[in-house]
Amino acid sequence: DSKSGGDGKQVLSMATNAEFPPYEYVEGEDVVGIDVDIAQAIADKLGMELKVDNMNFDSIIPAITSGKDAIGAAGMTVTDERKKNVDFTDSYATGVQVVIVREDSKITDVKDLTTKGADNTIGVQLGTTGDIYCTSDIQDKGFGKVQQFNKGADAVQALVSGKIDCVVIDNQPAKEFVKANKGLKILDTEYVTEDYAIAVAKDNTELKDKINGALNELKAEGTIQKILDKYIKA
């Protein structure tokens, strides 16, 4: 919308959930990460001032539909269900839903979760695609139980302490969480591959088009790749 920043620039306010390293996380007092750098680069191209609004993941789409924030940038997967409420820009990255288990786990494949009698308790971050897929593929079919956490890191702590059997989450945060904890591993099997994009209000085609223009330039210039490489070490 038309809010003005300190130096007279239009504000581009970004709803996010900074519990998702390396896409967005808190460092000191700042929210940093891939999405922040990409949104900053877009704001620079559009001559706007980026403002980051940190909230729970499941509050991001409501923040956009209510007009509280102009965009949602949160490693957010494009889904048909979400498209009913918001529009998405072109995709700028891909993610994969993976399974984190304890090193000694009997779970070795996604099929060990999505099978009758499997009976695992699966931790997810509330409102994420991991939550949505596990709820419909596993819990709704009676194959196991889904436990929702506000933060991915809390799901991982529950896994470490043996309260749940695995965590389903995007591959890049999964890598960070496994690195930060002992005794965990990521299964060598992928659940779902998805596209990340920026969410914009349905009636804000003008902003969506401008962002797509900026994204195209940033892709062509190699800036998006540079930002991804800065945070994702091979």
Q: Which stretch binds ligand ARG (CB under 6 A): 2-10, 19-27, 63-71, 204-212?
A: 19-27
**Quick one: 75 or 123, whose CB is closer to ligand ARG?**
75
Q: Is 164 left (phi over 0), alpha (psi -120 to 50) or beta?
A: beta
Element (H, E) at 132: helix 129-134
Binding segment (CB under 6 A) for ligand ARG, from list 1-9, 14-22, 46-54, 101-109: 14-22
Name residues contacting ligand ARG, limited to 35-64 (CB under 6 A). Answer: 57
CB of 232 to ligand ARG, least distance (A): 15
Which residues are CB-contacts of 41 (< 8 A; sequence separation ≥ 6)?
A: 214, 218, 223, 227
The arrangement of strands across the sheet holding 24-27 comes to 19-20, 24-27, 30-32
Residues in 166-225 at the binding interface with ligand ARG, rule: CB under 6 A: 170
Q: Are strands 30-32 and 24-27 parallel, antiparallel or unpaired?
A: antiparallel
Q: Which residue reads 């330039």 in tokens?
A: 217
- Within a 10 A sphere around the Cβ of 59, how many other Cβ atoms? 18
Among 77, 147, 172, 223, binds ligand ARG (CB under 6 A): 77
Looking at beta carbons only, is 16 or 204 nearer to ligand ARG? 16
Using CB under 6 A as the binding rule, whether residue 95 contacts ligand ARG is answered as yes
Q: Which residues of this protein are in contact with ligand ARG, per CB under 6 A?
A: 16-17, 19-20, 23-24, 57, 74-77, 95, 125, 128-129, 170
